[in-house]
Amino acid sequence: MESKDVKLILDKIKDQFETAKTETTLEITTMKDELLKEAVEQLGKDSEHMILVQNQLDQVATDLKKHREKQENEKPVSQFGSIYKALQDDKYKAMIVKGKGSYDYQFKVISNASMVAGDDLVNLPFREMGIDKSEVRPLLISQIIQWGTTASKTVDWIERTTKTDAAAARAEGASMAEGDLGYTEVSTAAKIVSELMKVTQEALKDTAFLASEINTELISDVMLELDDQLLSGDGTSNTLIGIETVAKAFAAGTLANTVYRANNFDVIRAASNQIFVAGKGKYVPNFVLMHPTDVTGMDMLKDPDTGMYILPPFKSADGTVIAGVRVIQNTGITLGDYLIGDFNRAKGYLRDPLEIKIWDQNSTDAEKNQATITGNMRVALRIRNQEKFAFVTGTFADDIDDLVKV
C-alpha cells in the first residue's frame, strides 16, 4: 500500500476521535477497535505500516482520555460538594484526630444561575465572599524590629554598668593610672499572649469558613495584642515592656528656643539629632511612627503669609522621608504623639511560636456540643539599657514650644 493510503487512514483516525470527545469511555474503546480492524483489512496484519497506525491509535486515545479528565475537573461543583470533598481531605482528618492544628481550604464560587432539567436558568441568591466587620489596624512594631528565637523562658545579656577611664599621657618611668570596669547580668522574661474561641462541632465541619475565621479573628487578635504590647506595654499584668515605655523623652538641648516658627518637621529633625548625638553616631533613626491625621496635617502645611506649601529641604517630595527617617502612619500611635528610633536596636524573641489547637473537652464543651480553639504564643522583647537612647517619644505641641524661638 502506498504511503498516501496510510496517511488517509491516519487522518480518518484523527477526525473520528476529534468528534468523539463527547462519547463515553465504552464508545471510544469500541471506535478504537473498529478503526484498528479496518486498518488491518486494508494494510494487512503484518504490514510494516500497522505499527504506525497502532501508535497513532494509542496516542489519540491517550490524548482523548486526558481531555475527558480535564473536563471532569473543570465541571462546576456545588457548594455542598466542595465542602464535602474538603472534609475527606487527609490533612483535615489528621487535624481532628490530633485535636490541634489548622486547615485552610477555599471552595470555588459557582455562578448565581444553575442549569436544571429543561435547560431553564434558575436564579439563586448571590452571597459575596467575606464578612462585613469593623477594621483593625495593620501590625506595626512587629514588622520593623529584629526577630530571633530562644529555648529559654528568659533572654539574658551582660551590660557594662561602670567604667573608670584612666587613660592619660605619662612621663617615662611614671606609674600608669588604673582604669576600672563593672558588669551586671540583665534579663527579660518571655510573656504569654493568647486567646480562645468557642465553636460548635457543626462549625468544625464548615472548613472554609472556620479556617477563614481562625485566620482573621483568632490569629489577628493575638498578633494585634502582641503588637500593642511591643509598642506600649507597661510590664504590668504579665505584659511586655514596650518601646514607647522605655524610650527617652524629647529633649531640645542646645536647640531649645532657637527655631523660628517651629513645626512638626522641626520636632522630628531635632529628635533625630537627639538620638544620633546620644549614640555618638552609633544609633541611626530609621522610622518615625505617627498618627495618620498628623501626617496629613504635615502634608497640608502652608506658609500663613503666602499660602504656599512648606517643603523643608530635609523632606522628600512625597513626604514619606524626613531627614533620612521613613514616616510610618498607624492609628496605634496617639494623635499628636510620635515615636522615632533606630528600630534595629529592639529585638523580639520567640519562645513559643503562635500555635493553634482545637480541644473538645474544655468546660461545658461536651454538654453544648462545642469545641474550643486556642491561640497561644510566648515572646520576649529585648532592649538593652544603653539602647533605650536609640528611641525618643514626645508630643508635637509640647516639643514645638521647646524649640520655638521666643
Would you say 104 and 211 are in contact if contact means Cβ atoms under 8 Å apart?
A: yes
**Model confidence, pTM:** 0.67
- The answer to whether residues 244 and 297 touch, using CB atoms and an 8 Å cutoff, is no
Q: Which of 388, 146, 404 is nearest to 261 (CA)?
A: 404
Residues 264 and 294 sit within 8 Å (Cβ to Cβ) = yes
Q: Return the bridge partners of 60, or none.
A: none
The H or E element spanning position 65 is helix 49-74
C-alpha cell read off for 255: 536647640
Residues contacting residue 229 through CB under 8 Å, at least 6 positions apart: 191, 193, 239, 240, 242, 381
Report the distance separating Cα 231 and Cα 140, nearest Å. 8
pLDDT digits (tens, 9 = 90+) for 58-115: 666 676 667 666 666 655 554 444 444 545 566 656 655 555 444 444 433 333 434 3
Q: What single string gives the DSSP state of each residue in 27-57?
A: HHHHHHHHHHHHHHHHH-TT-THHHHHHHHH
The span from the CA of 318 to the CA of 316, in Å, is 6
pLDDT of residue 103: 47
Q: Are 2 and 43 in contact (CB under 8 A)?
A: no
| Sheet strands (E) in 295-384 | 321-322, 325-329, 337-341, 347-359, 370-382
In order, the DSSP letters of 75-87 are: S---HHHHHHHHH
pLDDT, tens digit only, all 406 positions of the chain: 445 555 565 566 556 555 555 555 555 566 656 666 666 666 665 556 666 666 666 666 676 667 666 666 655 554 444 444 545 566 656 655 555 444 444 433 333 434 344 445 556 677 676 677 788 888 889 999 999 999 999 999 999 989 999 999 999 999 999 999 999 999 999 999 999 988 888 887 777 778 878 888 888 899 999 999 999 999 988 999 999 999 999 999 999 999 999 999 999 999 999 999 999 999 999 999 999 999 999 999 888 888 888 889 998 988 899 999 999 999 999 999 999 999 999 999 999 998 888 887 777 887 888 888 889 999 999 999 999 999 999 999 999 999 998 7
| Cell digits of residue 90 | 487527609
Give the domains, in start order, of the chain with CATH numbers. 3-74 (no CATH), 79-123 (no CATH), 134-151+191-406 (3.30.2320.10)
Beta strand extents in 190-336 (DSSP E only): 191-200, 248-249, 287-290, 321-322, 325-329
Q: Give the pairing of strands 337-341 and 391-395.
A: antiparallel
Distance CA 10, CA 92 (A): 49
Q: Are 180 and 162 in contact (CB under 8 A)?
A: yes
> Residue 145 in contact with residue 348, Cβ under 8 Å?
yes
Cβ 355 vs Cβ 375: under 8 Å: yes
> Given CA atoms 56, 58, 59, 64 in this order, what sign does their dihedral have?
positive
Closest C-alpha among 283, 279, 268, 270 to residue 344:
283
pLDDT, tens digit (0-9, with 9 covering 90-100), for 197-249:
888 888 877 777 788 788 888 888 999 999 999 999 999 889 999 999 999 99
Distance set, CA 179 to CA 33, 43, 159, 171, 241 (Å): 100, 106, 17, 18, 35
State how far the Cα of 106 lies from the Cα of 94, in Å rounded to an integer. Answer: 18
